Amino acid sequence: MKEIKPRVTTSTKIASALLTGAMVFSLAGCGAATTSGSGSQANSGQTEQSQSASSDQEAADVVAKKIDDIYVQERTDQTDQQCADAKAAWDALTDEQKALVQGQYADPDYFGRDTGDASKDDPLNADNIGEREILVVSFGTSFNDSRVATIGGIEKAIQQAYPDWSVRRAFTSQIIINHVQARDGEKIDNMQQALDRAVSNGVKELVVQPTHLMHGKEYDDLKAALEPYQSKMKITIAEPLLGQVGSDISEINADKKAVAEAVTAAAVKDAGYDSLDAAAADGTAFVYLGHGTSHEANITYDQMQTQMERLGYKNVFVGTVEGKPEDTSCEAVIQKVKDAGYKKVQIRPLMVVAGDHANNDMAGDDDDSWKSQMEAAGLEVTPQIKGLGEIPAVQQIYVAHTKAAL
C-alpha cells in the first residue's frame, strides 16, 4: 500500500524564498554600497524560482483533483468526459510537474506506471450477442498484462469450450473501469451496462460466471445487481472458483483441492524445484496471499490451509492482505514459517489477478509490504507475481462451473 507523503505547501515555499531574500538584503546593507545590485538580483531570482515552483504545484494539483474525481464507484453521465479531461491534463504536464501529482488517491503512478499493452486486451463489449450469453464478471484490474493473462485467459477458455454461446465481460469495480478508460482509452462494461446490453440485444438465456474466489461480499453484490433483470431473461449464476463455503475450517471440497494442487504445481515450477518436497529440503516455504475479508466467508482461507495440510503440503501457508481471519495476518504467517524452520519464502497471490495487491501489498518495497516485513524478520523472499487466472488448470475449473450452469 502506498503511503501518501505530506508535501511542502506553496505558501511554505514562498515564505522560505522571502526570508532568503530578506537575509541577502540585510547582508548587502552591512557592506559596500556596490553590493546592493547583486542583492537585488539574488532576491529577484529567488522570487522567480518561488513563482515557478508555485505554478508547477498548482498545475499538478489540478490533475490530482481530476484523478480523485474519477476514483469513484459510481458512473455518471459525466464520467466519460471526466476520464478524457484527466488524461489530457496529465499529458499537458512536464515531467517535473507529473512528479508533484498527489491527491487523496492520485499519484504519478495513476497515469505514469507501465502495466503493459492495453491493446492486447479484448473488453468483450460488442453487440450482436444472440440469444445465449455467458457473462464473465470480475472485480477487475488496471494492470494490463495481468488482465490479459488472467481474466482474458478465463474468458477465452470459456468461449473455446462453448462456441455456441457469446462470451461478454463485466467488471464490478467502477474505480478500475475509470482507471483503464482514462489511461488507456479502453472501455469496459460495468454490471448495469453489460446487463442493459444483454437486454437490448434480445438475450434470452444468460449464464453469469463470476471469477470471484468465494461466496463473499462481491458475490452477494453480484446477485443483488442481477435481481432487477430476472424478469427480462432466464439468468443462472455459476459457482465462484472455490465453490461452496462450508460451516467450519474442516470443510473442504473438490474445487479447493483442485485449486490447491494447481497453484502449488505452478509455484513449485516457477521456483525452479522438481517437487514441493525438494523445496522443503532446501528450506523453502510457499506463502499464498489472498485478499481477506470481514465477510463470514473468510473461513474459506482457513479451509484452504486445511486443504494444503490434507494434501501433505507441509511447507505451504495461506495468508491475507487484510489479516482476516486473524491467523492469516502477516505476523501470524511469518511466525508459522519460522516455527517450521524455513529460511526462504516464495510468495504468490491467491488471487485471480496479479494487480495492485500483488505488486504493492505483496511484493512492493514499502516497509509494510509482505516482502519487506518478511525480509525484516530475517527471511529470504522471492515474489511470484502471477494470478490464479493465468493457470490453465484454474481456467478449466471455471469452464466446469460454467458447464454446470448451462
pLDDT tier, 38 (very low <50, low <70, confident <90, very high otherwise): low
Structural domain ending residue among the three candidates 89, 112, 135: 112
Domain count, the chain: 3
Tens digits of residue pLDDT in 347-376: 999 999 999 999 999 999 999 999 999 999
Catalytic residue among 179, 212, 291, 357: 291
**pLDDT value at position 51?**
76
Q: In the predicted model, is pLDDT for residue 34 greater than 50?
A: no
Predicted pLDDT at 22: 38
- The answer to the question of residue 123 being in a domain is yes
pLDDT above 90 (res 2): no
196 and 279 assigned to the same domain: no
Residues 152 and 102 reside in one and the same domain: no
Same domain, yes or no, for 130 and 218?
A: yes
Measured distance CA(263)–CA(389) in Å, rounded = 10
Provide the mean pLDDT of the chain: 91
Distance CA 290, CA 326 (A): 13
390: cell is 493465468
Q: Are residues 146 and 104 in the same domain?
A: no
**Residue 6 confidence (pLDDT):** 39
Whole-number Cα distances in Å, 238 to 134, 151, 225: 10, 16, 15
Residues 317 and 294 in one domain: yes
Beta strands in 77-165 (DSSP E): 132-138
* pTM: predicted TM-score of the whole model, two decimal places: 0.87
- Which secondary-structure segment (H or E) carries 147? helix 144-149
246 pLDDT band (50/70/90 cuts)?
confident
Q: Do 22 and 76 fall within a single domain?
A: yes
Q: Flag whether 178 is in a domain.
A: yes
CB 263 within 8 A of CB 348: yes
For residues 277 and 156, state if they share a domain: no
Contact 239, 403 (CB under 8 A): no
- Do residues 335 and 269 both lie within one domain? yes
Q: How confident is the model at residue 15 (pLDDT cuts 50, 70, 90)?
A: very low
Is 401 known to be catalytic? no
**Cα 88 to Cα 373: distance, rounded to the nearest angstrom:** 39
Dihedral angle sign, alpha carbons of residues 213, 215, 217, 221: positive
The SS3 call for residue 264 is helix
Domain closes at, from 112, 131, 156: 112
Does residue 337 form part of some domain? Answer: yes
What is the predicted pLDDT for the residue at 43? 67
pLDDT at 397 over 90: yes
What cell numbers appear for 250 in the block? 474442516
pLDDT-derived band at 7, boundaries 50, 70, 90: very low
Mean pLDDT of 99-107: 98
Q: What percent of the chain has pLDDT over 90?
A: 86
Instruction: Pick the last residue of a domain from 78, 97, 112.
Output: 112
Lowest mean pLDDT among 44-58, 143-157, 239-253, 377-391: 44-58
Separation in Å, CA 89 to CA 79, 177, 379: 15, 19, 44
| pLDDT at residue 33 is higher than 70 | no
Q: Whats the size of the chain, residue-wise?
A: 406
Asked if pLDDT for residue 311 goes beyond 90, the answer is yes
For residues 182 and 229, what is the distance between their CA atoms, to the nearest angstrom?
29
Indicate whether 342 belongs to any domain.
yes
pLDDT tens for 210-226 read 999 999 999 999 999 99
- CATH number of the structural domain spanning residue 188: 3.40.50.1400
Quickly list DSSP for 180-209. HHHHH-----BHHHHHHHHHHTT--EEEEE
* All residues at 6 or more sequence positions from 252 whose CB lies less than 8 Å from its CB, including other chains: 246, 303, 306, 307, 310
Q: Are residues 382 and 401 in the same domain?
A: no
pLDDT at 398: 98
Domain containing 142 equals: 118-243+394-405
pLDDT level of residue 175 (50, 70, 90 thresholds)? very high
Residues 16 and 59 in one domain: yes
Tell me the average pLDDT across 7-16. 38
What pLDDT is attached to residue 77? 97
